[in-house]
Amino acid sequence: MERIPAGEGLLCHLIEQVRPDLARHIRETGEVETIVIGLGAQGTRHAGLMQEFGTKITAAVAPGRGGTRVHETIPVYDTVAECLQEHPYIAAASVWRHYATARDATIEAISAGIPFIALITEGIPLRDMRDIIVAARKNKTILIGGNSPGAIFPPERVKIGMLPDVFYPEEPSPGKLGPKGVTIISRSGAILYHLSDALAMAGIAQNGVIGIGGDAAIGSTFVDLVPLVMSHPHTDLVVIAGEIGGIQEERLAEDILAHPERYPKPIVALISGARAPEGKTMGHAGAIVAPGQEYGTFHSKKAALARAGVTVVNSQYDLIEAVKGRLRRTYFDTARYYEKMRTIWEAKPKPPSWGTLITKIEPNNILISGYPLQQLIGRKSLLEVAHLLVRGELPSPEALKELEALALEGARAPSSSGGRLGEEDLSKALARALLLDRELAAFPTKGSRGPALKTAFALGRVGKHLATILGTASALEGLPARASFTEAIYRTITGRTEFDPRWAGLLEAMAVASVDHGVTPPSAQATLILASTRAAYEVAVAAGVGAITDVHGGAGAKAAEFFKECVARARREGLELEEAAKGLIAEYIKAGRRIEGLGHRIHTQDPRRDALWRLAEEAGVAGENVAASKVVTRAFKQVRGMDLPINVDGVIGAIVADMGLDPIIAKALFIWGRVAGLSAHYFEEVASQPEMRRINFEQAVYKGPPAREVP
């Protein structure tokens, strides 16, 4: 999106009059940091629209919602003070609170020193408005509104408020954006839009389009703002749009006569209400002509302004002529502008979408918070990746220590689950254990780090329950006091007590390979749906675990069995592995059985495959099963004529088989890893989405960090 650096624009100039320190920061960064105060329906919607227009929305403030996010990426704070502690360079705010609470919220923002505030709220009681104005005067705040549509600064593409998005940065000289133009200030929102639109259609560039509000008492009036915007070197002319009622226009006229030096540039005024009936309030609380009043009428305003040398008009046609006449120029080619606007009225409606910051799934690429998963496998521990999933960053060494301690605490605390009942599915047994887990339920999630800490504890609990289910509880219980969580994984999976770091690393890498695959896998969907109802953490995670069946996520165990069969047949019949595989595949097909571990919805070459194969080689584990996993795709093509690449389940199955472990271990590792992803989705949903929303999983869009290299 084209724009001028914000430091050159009118908004920065206004901010500089109040807070030179913030203006300096804006010049350095080229951006104006803004916040949204109040997240009702309008505040929430327009936070998104402002962001789309180009405004930098650094944060939002809504009491009781601190620690959550809005539009998935904007952090929310309970108070302005808390927000400024984290983001000290906030230079502008828009206030959307209800009229009953707008007073306190606005005064809070004013007292915090935010220099430019647009008060959008309509219907604020006058007594509250006076308190707000008193506070703004003390702090020299540039307050516009209440009942203001806000302001738009087209060249720097900053919108603070709810103005429609038809204002484009104009080109004061052909082909070049710039801060020059006229500034429009209006009491009415709709008149503001119409004037801006009409002037743009005539080739008049605008560097600021400001709605000051239609109420009887407002923050900044014409007298306050006109000299301010005129002091901006790039403002060539000021258009004001006044209307009947109040005395602002008359006061401006008086001030122009008394202090002509404050008004070095031409003013054109459009005054509305020439035909307004007396004694009837016309929509705006301020727009009433009281019978017998000496001011506030169309004629009193027109006469006063004309006396002060202001060109006064009452129609769009005359406005355009007057502005062109006073400027003796236009700024840009209207045909180009017309073409630009055509793209707006001919635009396709945008498909609805919602965002996730966790995982981006592309064909043959999986990015966890920007890091390629294939780079994380073998290089980062499960706890590090879990932290990345939940918080978007890898943990610091101190944070990792805390996660380790909590995960080990979880692995050591007793489990009251009865293990596995008969031949029931591993996932069912684990889901039940998690659902009934008192320690996990009692673990708090307070504070910004709470979710990551709880996730680490949950991964420990999964180990504890798996050990009970797999019959390795005594090995896990014998874990030495200073052991690592990697060793806990090793003991749980293998049941052995003598530590083999190469095996342990490989097992953990397989869990890491399984951590997440975005919001569309059924397990993630189950957890998200429960999270949207604000079900308890362990309920939502258990639901996701329960969804990991032979159909979804359990293919590794079946694949392990297939490869073992392959290897056995090759030995038995003295065949090459590929020949044995072909024979077995043909039999499977004949019997109508599925060959698990092949094919993927999205990936034609599963990015996790090579990383795991390589690690298996390096660990000295790769044997005939891994070898079989490397030829099975070609064998399948020769038998069936279809390209079904091996997937991560298939690779894990082959490695588990080569390790001589029970095939069920493939599934156990998958679930263990995936609990980290489910946990992240749970916390993201709760923190950033409305309750009970309708989730369309196909509409999810990744909004996290762009691709980056693993450090």
Partner 1 sequence: MRLYEHEAKRVFQRRGLPVPKQFGVIHSPEELARLELEFPLMLKALVLVGGRGKAGGIKRAENAREARAEAREIFQLRIKGYPVEAILLEEALEADAACYIGVTMDPATFNNVVLASAFGGVEIEEVARDRPEAIHKLELLENEPELPAELARGLASRLAEDLGQAASAVETLAEIISKLYALYQAIDAKVCEINPLLLTPKGPVAADAKIVLDENALFRQAKLLEELGISGRRHDVAEPTPNERRAQAAGFKYLDLLPPEAPKDPEKIYVGLVPGGAGYGIFSIDEVANIGERFFGGRVVPFNFMDSGGGPTQEQMAEMFHLLMDDPRVDLIITSRFGGISSCDIFIRGLVQALRERHAQGKRVVPVYGRMVGTDLPSARDFLERAKEETPEALKEMEIIVGNQKIMAEVIKEGLSRAFAAKGWK
Q: Rule CB under 8 A: choose which of 20, 40, 125, 363 binds partner 1.
A: 125
- How far apart are the C-alpha atoms of 440 and 451, rounded to whole Å? 12
Query: Should residue 303 be labelled a site residue for partner 1 when binding is judged by CB under 8 A?
Result: no
Of 125 and 501, nearer to partner 1 (C-beta) is 125
Helix extents (H) in 443-576: 450-470, 473-477, 485-494, 501-513, 522-532, 537-546, 555-573
Interacting positions 243-282 with partner 1 (CB under 8 A): 243-244, 246-248, 251, 270, 272-277, 279-282
Residues 444-473 interacting with partner 1 (rule: CB under 8 A) = none
Residues 590-619 that bind partner 1 (CB under 8 A): none
Rounded to whole angstroms, the Cα distance separating 316 from 364 reads 57
d(CA 523, CA 150): 44
> Exactly one of 35, 177, 204, 285 binds partner 1 (CB under 8 A); which one?
285
397 binds partner 1 (CB under 8 A): no
Nearer to partner 1, 205 or 595 (CB): 205
List C-alpha distances in Å: 184 to 93, 94, 178, 618: 20, 19, 17, 69
Using CB under 8 A as the binding rule, whether residue 306 contacts partner 1 is answered as no
Residue selected from 29, 201, 419, 535 as contacting partner 1 according to rule CB under 8 A = 201
Q: Which of residues 314-333 bind partner 1 (CB under 8 A)?
A: 314-317
Q: Which of 241, 361, 506, 507 binds partner 1 (CB under 8 A)?
A: 241
Identify residues 134-193 at the interface with partner 1 (CB under 8 A).
134, 149, 162-166, 186-193
Angle, CA of 88, 89 and 92, to the nearest 5° = 120
Nearer to partner 1, 288 or 510 (CB): 288
CB 93 within 8 A of CB 148: no
For position 347 contacting partner 1 by CB under 8 A, the verdict is yes
Interactions with partner 1, residue window 25-84 (CB under 8 A): 42, 46, 49
List the catalytic residue out of 13, 234, 284, 600: 284
Q: How far is CA 438 from CA 92, 414, 415, in A?
A: 47, 10, 9
Stretch 83-122 residues interacting with partner 1 (CB under 8 A) = 99-100, 122
**DSSP E strand boundaries for 164-323:** 181-186, 206-211, 235-243, 267-272, 311-313
Is residue 677 a contact residue for partner 1 (CB under 8 A)? no
* 664 contacts: CB under 8 Å, gap ≥ 6: 426, 470, 557
574 lies in the site for partner 1, by CB under 8 A: no
- Minimum Å gap between C-beta 48 and partner 1 is 12
Cβ-contact 677, 515 below 8 angstroms: yes
Nearer to partner 1, 96 or 503 (CB): 96
Region of 311-319, 374-382, 517-525, 532-540 interacting with partner 1 (CB under 8 A): 311-319
Mask: binding to partner 1, 350-389, rule CB under 8 A, as x and -?
A: x---------------------------------------
Using the contact rule CB under 8 A, the part of the chain among 197-205, 362-370, 554-562, 641-649 near partner 1 is 197-205
Query: Residue 308 Cβ, how far from partner 1 at the closest point, in Å?
Result: 16
The vertex-674 CA angle with 396 and 491, nearest 5°, equals 80
User: Which of 114, 217, 383, 493: binder of partner 1 (CB under 8 A)?
Assistant: 217
Select from 18-26, 212-220, 465-473, 691-699 the region that touches partner 1 (CB under 8 A): 212-220
User: Both ends of the chain: CA-CA distance in Å?
Assistant: 31
Residues 541-570 binding partner 1 (CB under 8 A) are none
Q: 449: left (phi > 0), else alpha (psi -120 to 50), else beta?
A: alpha
Query: Is position 284 annotated as part of the catalytic site?
Result: yes
User: CA 262 → CA 157, 227, 228, 304, distances in Å?
Assistant: 28, 5, 9, 17
Query: Which ranges constitute the DSSP H helices of 308-365?
Result: 316-327, 334-345
Edge-to-edge strand list for the sheet holding 235-243? 158-161, 150-153, 206-211, 181-186, 235-243, 267-272, 311-313
What lies within 8 Å, CB to CB, of 214 at 6+ separation is 147, 187, 188, 189, 243, 283, 284, 285, 286, 287
How far apart are CB 305 and partner 1 at their closest, in Å? 15
Q: Which stretch binds partner 1 (CB under 8 A): 7-15, 87-95, 241-249, 640-648?
A: 241-249
The CA radius of gyration of the chain, in Å to the nearest whole number, is 33
Name which of 222 and 702 has its Cβ closer to partner 1: 222
List residues with catalytic annotation. 284
